[in-house]
Amino acid sequence: MAICIITGSSGLIGSESAKFFHEKGFDVVGIDNDMRSYFFGKDASTGWNTEKLKEALPRFQHHNIDIRDQEAVNALFKRFGAEVTLVIHTAAQPSHDWAAREPFTDFTVNANGTLVLLEATRQFCPDAAFIFTSTNKVYGDTPNVLPLKELQLRWELGPEHAYGEHGIDESMSIDQSKHSLFGASKVAADVLAQEYGRYFGLKTGIFRGGCLTGPAHSGAELHGFLAYLVQCVVTGKPYTVFGYKGKQVRDNIHSYDLVNAFWHFAQKPRAAAVYNMGGSRHSNCSMLEAIESAEKLAGRKLQYTLGDAARSGDHIWYVSDVRKFQTDYPEWKYRYGMNDIMKEIVAETIERYGKKA
């Protein structure tokens, strides 16, 4: 029986991966120590999702291991050895702002943790495909030098620019820009995953995500903007938009579409393959557009303020060009667009928080 090891298995992408690959016939071994509640408080805990997965998936097992704990990670990998055909590494400290509070925690989780997992894969299951969820923050604030135009509700890049029609591709430099400490720890992990591919021949796929979203997101103010925004609309909590007049643009990809991309990669893995992966031109929105849409769907107005200060290193406009992945895996297609994503999050949030409103 093929085994898939998933780190961060109770988080948004990890849990969606657990369900997806379980359905594809894998035995799923999840690693998650609910560190998200340490990062963002108990409202952001992913413990509820661990219980949900254990109930729903008969061939799922959960291990409360810190990915930095090399001894525990090695013992687990050794137990399953070459039966492990796929490793999906999503566990992370995911926020810019939080990283600056505890740089060592951020770096050791994101960089050292990734090294522990890559090395365990090399030692105990070297033929497995290894998927790493990187981030578009590896490009630092370089996207902010693009010649953007201010429109009524969003910043926009014209079609005359090389990135205008399809978004930003993998040729953008990841060097010499401001990343935030989070971006820097993810760069370290991204380059390590590439190196284990180039140097050791491990089949590593590095997915540089835009905004990832979906119903399993435990929204926190510092991470998971659509989930948190909708939570504020539904519960009446005030919301602050950080800078750029609320016109900053993000592309949003549904967790299903991302995990489905993992599946296509896992069937024909390559070594050191780097992909920008997000909603692309297909699915993106500005903050103001997202607020408008959430208010319409939830039937409630959001109390929000436009703060002047942008988050350090935050992108003004980021849309992923996903054509490299589409060229390598032409059978992969989007299932969700921006409107479907918003509808789903609003429905899920009303179910989870609506009664408290």
Ligand X SMILES: NC(=O)c1ccc[n+]([C@@H]2O[C@H](COP(=O)([O-])OP(=O)(O)OC[C@H]3O[C@@H](n4cnc5c(N)ncnc54)[C@H](O)[C@@H]3O)[C@@H](O)[C@H]2O)c1
Residue ranges that bind ligand X, judged by CB under 6 A: 8, 10-14, 31-36, 46, 66-68, 90-92, 94, 109, 113, 133, 135, 209, 211-212, 224
Give the DSSP H or E segment for 85: strand 84-89
Burial class (CB in 10 A: 0-12, 13-18, 19+), 91: buried
CB of 20 to ligand X, least distance (A): 13
Nearer to ligand X, 201 or 215 (CB): 215
CB of 160 to ligand X, least distance (A): 28
Nearer to ligand X, 44 or 297 (CB): 44
Amino acid at 290: A
Locus of tokens 């016109």? 247
Nearer to ligand X, 134 or 144 (CB): 134
Nearer to ligand X, 15 or 144 (CB): 15
CB of 244 to ligand X, least distance (A): 18
8, 117 contact by CB (below 8 A):
no
Of 286, 331, 321, 282, give the one whose Cα is nearest residue 306.
286
CB of 212 to ligand X, least distance (A): 4
User: Which region, left, alpha or beta, applies to residue 8 given φ > 0 means left and ψ of -120 to 50 means alpha?
Assistant: left
Nearer to ligand X, 71 or 158 (CB): 71
CB of 36 to ligand X, least distance (A): 4
Nearer to ligand X, 9 or 293 (CB): 9
Of 43, 48, 136, give the one whose Cα is nearest residue 94.
136
Helix (H, G, I), strand (E, B) or coil at 326: helix
CB of 101 to ligand X, least distance (A): 15
Burial class (CB in 10 A: 0-12, 13-18, 19+), 55: exposed
Amino acid at 274: V
CB of 31 to ligand X, least distance (A): 6
Amino acid at 216: A
Give me the residue whose beta carbon is nearest to ligand X. 11
For β-strands 249-254 and 284-286, DSSP reports them as antiparallel
Both tokens of residue 328? 């390598």
Nearer to ligand X, 300 or 324 (CB): 324
